[in-house]
Structure 1
Amino acid sequence: MPLLVAGSAQALEFKLADNEITGSLDSTLSYGAMWRVQGRDKDNITDINADDGNRNFDTGLVSQVFKLTSDLSAKYQNYGLFMRGTAYYDTQIMDKRNDYYDTTNGVERPSQSFPQDDHFTDDTRHIAGRKAELLDAYLSGSWDIAEHPLTGRVGRQVLNWGEGVFYRGGINTINPVDAARFHLPGSELKEVLVPVEALSFNLGLTDDLSMETFYQWKWKETRLDSVGTYFSDTDLFSDGGNTAYTTEDNPLIKELLAGYPTVASLGLLGNGPHGPNAYLNPNTGTFKVANVGKDIDARDDGQFGVAFRYIAEELNSTEFGFYFVNYHAKEPQIAVDLRNYQGVDVDGLNALLGPLGLGEAVPGLSTLDMASNAEARRDYVEDIRMYGFSFNTTLGDASVSGEIAYRPNMPISISATDDILGDLLTQGVLGQTNLFDANVPAGQACAPVAGKQLCRGELFENYERAETYNISLSTIYNFGPHLSFDSMTGVAELASEHIRGSSLKYTAWDGSERRFVGAQDKAYVGGNDDDVQIDRDSYGYTLLLTGSWNDVYAGVKLSPYVVYQEDFSGNSDRTGNFIEGRKAYTLGIDASYLNTFEVGTQYTSYYGAGSSNSMRDRDNVSVTAKYSF
């Protein structure tokens, strides 16, 4: 018969098979709510492909999450089992319409949910609104091999390598990140990294030297904030996106939009996988410029790594780490897929419209047709190599650590998404490309985009491989009893990104020189200049200070904290960490009772970097309550 007992924090402990199998079930039931406390910046809802998340929420409640997370662990002799699962429900996504129409003043402006713009997409509802999933699930074991300790794990697991604290992109690239779950009020750090199926071992070679290795047989991508949720700032790169639009306040374009359906009805347009252009609005000048196609996922195999760690006793027991990882990108590049587009019979269209004096409209109509059948696809690049070095040591009451991650073949985005689309449209309308001409062989029907040739019948990849260095230095300082606190701790991390092996420039179709796109994804066609594009070197830092008052009242502990973050120099590549001038701070306090019940509240403000900071109007207040049993 199983024996059940209550352990620490009311965890359910059990024993089976005459006490040979022991284990515990730890669960946390939580509630979290977040309110927007800052009105929209009217200049932050101008990008039709990036504004759904901002338009969807007026000030007030933006997220209300009920969540259950459970950890099951069991042990038999030298073997173990660990499983973690979670389920959550957000009432603001699932049970109400959003506030999109409050921003349009009755003018039709399509969202990713068009024509029901005040609804969330199905993908967003299924990912951000409600979800139940198994996270960790692995078996572990420990053995002695020729007097060398060996531990191993097989199954869904998280591997934490390196010494990075706050920033991604360093040595710790083995597991993807779930940004969508991280932004749920009441989320915990243990839920941020996504467990992936892998086999891992750690072998003690000597008393001071160990080796760790892994092989993943499953690839998973980083999960960005779903389209239309409060923190989402892209309608193309994340789940829930389906269509790219543009708005052109040009009388010629509006005339083309008005005439396109008539010509399409004659069968001379729409010769592609998506048929004639499905969204054209002559009144506003808005039309579809691309479909969001199926992701180009990386393959499951080919991700592996090895790490050696050495403790130098003579150097104050400093630990040094040496790493190699071959992995596939977790964050996407954008590719343009024209492999299934056959083009337009330009000769036939000229024969029809020329006698009517409308021959000049042929390039524009053909361009609209091409836009209807172009596919923007999230492209996950394979076989990125990472070589790393790290250290950690103690200096008095402080622990100090640092790392360097070098990648000789890191994919770097070339052009902003809107520049790709805008350059294609401009060349097409002006008749300066034969890309859409079905009478020209596919491989020869091309247009210069992002310094390369984009051709019909091919997949255009918008990235270049370059050398990158990610460097960080961090410290954790234990102040002990200080400033009335029973304990106080400070954490600081300085991080930087450096790009070499590329000019980071390309020649546009009109002969102008442009820099590669930065983390802002700001387009030249939108009136932006070099200042908001990529830099070779970029830097930022994060500071955290927290304290605690124990037994404030009958087992109640209070823990206030403050976090400050600043990107103080340079812009990263599009998937990087830094946007120059961007700042944020958080003020919060948690109260816990006997490690069983916890409540907390915090205020977060985003500012700096002007229009480059898409979060600049998302200040928020959140409250959480958790019960562990």
Structure 2
Amino acid sequence: MEDTPVRLPRHTLTTAVAIASSLLAGGVSAAGFDIGPFEATLRSNITLGASWRADDPSNGVLSPGNTNGEGRASSSTTDDGNLNYDQGDMYSFRLTGLHDLDLNAGNWGLFGRVKYWYDYALENDEVDHGHAANGYASGEELDTSDFEDLAQGKGIELLDAYIYGEFDAGDMPVELRAGNMALNWGESLFIQNGINVISPFDVTAIRRPGTEIREALLPVGMLYANVGVTYNLTLEAFYQYDWQRTILDECGTYWNAGDPYGGGCDYLTAVTSLPDGAQEAAGLTIARAPDDEPDDGGQYGISARYFMDSLNGTEFGLYYINYHSRTPIFSAINTTEAFGQPFLNPAVQPNFFFEFPEDIEVYGFTFATNVGLWAVAGELSYRPDLPLQINTVDLLQALALGSFAEWSPMTARSLAAGPGAYVAGYDNVEYTQAQISVIRFYEQVFGADRLSIAAEVGGAWVDGMEDGINYGRSATYGVGDFETFTSPIFGVPVSCNSHPVLGALGVVPNANADYCTDDGFTTGSSWGYQVRASLQYNDALAGVNLTPSVAWSHDVDGYGPAPNFVEGRQALSVALTADYLNVYRAELSYTSFFGADYNELADRDFLSLSFSVAF
């Protein structure tokens, strides 16, 4: 067995891209030709992939009303996607084309990327339960017409489109770019919520079989500059003139865990004892108001990176970023009349909506070096005012029941705001995150040409959460536990899963006593780790390279702001990739989720198969 030292890239892409390229490398073929003064390079990839559900839906995350009383979830607002797919169902069968065109004329040029796709399963397959957008019509296709463009079942999208140039300003090399582009800062490999927030993510693409890494980060309109001040010091800056949201799994699709999030899903159901369709027919719903999106401008950042030859070639980085949230916060508008029990009067119903808070600041520090044969990198990030989601069930019960929701920690805020007023679904908190990653290559091990290992451990710390307010935890599990008290309004004892008066109307704080706990909510600290390894067998079979790989993630302790760290959550993925001439590629993978009490996606094990050709 031989060891290969790993040298981190200097003043180029981050370690994340380097390791992704080594572990998950796809085709690198390209066609070159001339167009007038331009040297043109066209890189294309066509992928056909399919994914199947490998596990039965768990009754623990399905509402009783949607399962003839068998479900045990404390909310009916998180199970549409789960109910639409049984074990063995194909939830994606997708053809994707991705084409990059680079036109270079010496020191300047243009770069463009276009993507098109068709998902037969999403476009045509009938589902068992439906979603709000199709009126909960069982046995019909999902209505994806109002989804975000990249989340729809078919489409064509221009992604990157920018001009670039390089020149010397005196002795300083300068690179400029303008247009739609993706920009990746920081040293994170796997763990999110760090410095890498400049570009939104396409989460739906990451979940699809055969997805390329270049599909994950979405380009947005910006100006970018990179200046080599000295041999050792590099300055970077950007200004975004366009805001785009992260593309999340929309209502009714396999990975969605929030029924009201998605185009066309304009209401949420309010009780757990009735099917969703019956609630819609009876008006037992809360309507969705228009999303509150931020301004396009006002997002910018600057970084300084310093390379020290004297410290074993270590690179240090400092960062400042001001951005608008790419992921939604669930907020609400109070009823328009004085509180009694507005839930019984549809004319004065509250509304919910999704908002994206502006001007979130990030301060960051990174390092990247080599320790022996290990490449080691890390980052530290700090947000003085991170918008942290308040538990949505606490918020909704306060809005829907008004003063009757005496147990909800959000009732006081709702009443203080008054009729028709905005009630924020978040508080600003201080958020610190640290992570360290390592990479190493071994040559000639286990009969393979190369063993590649990458690992990352990270921790998060939250300060400034208000006492008595619950943050995070999926609505699946309802409200948290509280001490039994005597209701001043009704004069009866009220506990987490019992209300003698409202219970007669089918309303209790939490319908499942098993979820009456203080667990699952955001904690002051949390941490976890992820590991990925692959073995590369070159020319294993008639010129075909085989690469078996395994990926493991484990959230060890605590509950962090989404999507990081749910205590006990674990995932194991195994895959086999076959590659021929860096042109033809096939991959078979299986992923299993397990180990957490408050992971609403724990029953979404899946199998994927993909074929691709690069040219």
Q: Which structure 2 residues correspond to residues 125-136 of structure 1 after superposition, within 5 A?
A: 127-136=151-160
Q: Which structure 2 residues correspond to residues 154-553 of structure 1 after superposition, within 5 A?
A: 154-247=178-271, 279=280, 281=282, 287-338=283-334, 342-343=336-337, 363-364=340-341, 366-369=342-345, 373-414=349-390, 416-427=391-402, 448-449=411-412, 453-500=416-463, 502-506=464-468, 514-518=469-473, 522-524=477-479, 525-526=509-510, 527-553=515-541
Answer whether contact 1:519 1:571 (CA < 8 A) is retained. no
- Which of residues 53, 57, 64 in structure 1 aligns to 2:81? 53
The Cα of 1:426 is off from its aligned counterpart by 3.4
The Cα of 1:407 is off from its aligned counterpart by 0.6
CA RMSD across the alignment: 2.5
Distance (whole Å) between structure 1 residues aligned to residue 414 and residue 371 of structure 2:
50
Distance (whole Å) between structure 2 residues aligned to residue 162 and residue 568 of structure 1:
24
Distance (whole Å) between structure 1 residues aligned to residue 279 and residue 574 of structure 2:
47
Paired residues, what number?
537
For 1:55, the aligned partner's letter is L
Closer, same or farther in 2 for the Cα pair 1:484/1:115, shift >3 Å? closer
Mapped pair 1:120 → 2:142? yes
- Which of residues 581, 586, 589 in structure 1 aligns to 2:576? 589
Distance (whole Å) between structure 2 residues aligned to residue 546 and residue 451 of structure 1:
52
Answer whether contact 1:329 1:380 (CA < 8 A) is retained. yes
Closer, same or farther in 2 for the Cα pair 1:553/1:237, shift >3 Å? same
For 1:420, the aligned partner's letter is L
The structure, 1 or 2, with the larger RCO (C-alpha pairs under 8 Å, 6+ apart) is: 2
What's the CA shift string for 1:308-336, capped at 9, x where partnerless? Answer: 00011110010000000011111111111
Name the SS for the 1:94 alignment partner.
Answer: helix
Distance (whole Å) between structure 2 residues aligned to residue 523 and residue 594 of structure 1:
53
Distance (whole Å) between structure 2 residues aligned to residue 391 and residue 206 of structure 1:
18
Closer, same or farther in 2 for the Cα pair 1:450/1:248, shift >3 Å? farther
Of residues 549-558 and 470-479 in structure 1, the stretch that sits farther from structure 2 once superposed is 549-558
Answer whether contact 1:204 1:210 (CA < 8 A) is retained. yes
Closer, same or farther in 2 for the Cα pair 1:539/1:191, shift >3 Å? same
- Which of residues 140, 149, 163 in structure 2 aligns to 1:139? 163
The Cα of 1:503 is off from its aligned counterpart by 3.7
Distance (whole Å) between structure 2 residues aligned to residue 464 and residue 183 of structure 1:
30
Closer, same or farther in 2 for the Cα pair 1:521/1:41, shift >3 Å? closer
> Identity of counterpart residues, as a percentage?
30
Residue in structure 2 matched with residue 624 of structure 1 by the alignment:
610
The Cα of 1:119 is off from its aligned counterpart by 3.1
The Cα of 1:369 is off from its aligned counterpart by 2.8
The Cα of 1:342 is off from its aligned counterpart by 4.4
For 1:229, the aligned partner's letter is T
For 2:541, the aligned partner's letter is Y
Report the TM-score when normalising by structure 2.
0.83
Distance (whole Å) between structure 1 residues aligned to residue 82 and residue 476 of structure 2:
17
The Cα of 1:516 is off from its aligned counterpart by 2.5
Name the SS for the 2:443 alignment partner.
Answer: coil
Name the SS for the 2:185 alignment partner.
Answer: coil
Q: Which structure 2 residues correspond to residues 547-626 of structure 1 after superposition, within 5 A?
A: 547-573=535-561, 575-610=562-597, 612-626=598-612
For structure 2, the 5+ residue unaligned runs are 1-26, 64-74, 480-508
Closer, same or farther in 2 for the Cα pair 1:320/1:64, shift >3 Å? same
The Cα of 1:497 is off from its aligned counterpart by 1.1
Distance (whole Å) between structure 2 residues aligned to residue 452 and residue 372 of structure 1:
15
For 2:257, the aligned partner's letter is D
Mapped pair 1:42 → 2:73? no
Name the SS for the 1:505 alignment partner.
Answer: coil
Answer whether contact 2:123 2:141 (CA < 8 A) is retained. no
Q: Which structure 2 residues correspond to residues 81-96 of structure 1 after superposition, within 5 A?
A: 81-96=110-125
For 1:15, the aligned partner's letter is D
- Which of residues 57, 71, 75 in structure 1 aligns to 2:104? 75
The Cα of 1:403 is off from its aligned counterpart by 0.3
Answer whether contact 1:504 1:516 (CA < 8 A) is retained. no
Distance (whole Å) between structure 1 residues aligned to residue 538 and residue 347 of structure 2:
63
Residue in structure 2 matched with residue 12 of structure 1 by the alignment:
31
Name the SS for the 2:205 alignment partner.
Answer: helix
What's the CA shift string for 1:232-279, capped at 9, x where partnerless? Answer: 1111234443211122659xxx9xxxxxxxxxxxxxxxxxxxxxx993
Closer, same or farther in 2 for the Cα pair 1:342/1:422, shift >3 Å? closer
Closer, same or farther in 2 for the Cα pair 1:579/1:238, shift >3 Å? farther
Answer whether contact 2:209 2:609 (CA < 8 A) is retained. yes
Distance (whole Å) between structure 2 residues aligned to residue 377 and residue 545 of structure 1:
42
The Cα of 1:230 is off from its aligned counterpart by 0.9
For 2:82, the aligned partner's letter is N
What's the CA shift string for 1:453-476, capped at 9, x where partnerless? Answer: 342232211211111101110001
Closer, same or farther in 2 for the Cα pair 1:557/1:515, shift >3 Å? same
Report the TM-score when normalising by structure 1.
0.81
Closer, same or farther in 2 for the Cα pair 1:449/1:194, shift >3 Å? farther
Answer whether contact 1:73 1:83 (CA < 8 A) is retained. yes
Answer whether contact 1:39 1:617 (CA < 8 A) is retained. yes
Distance (whole Å) between structure 1 residues aligned to residue 336 and residue 475 of structure 2:
34
Closer, same or farther in 2 for the Cα pair 1:146/1:22, shift >3 Å? same
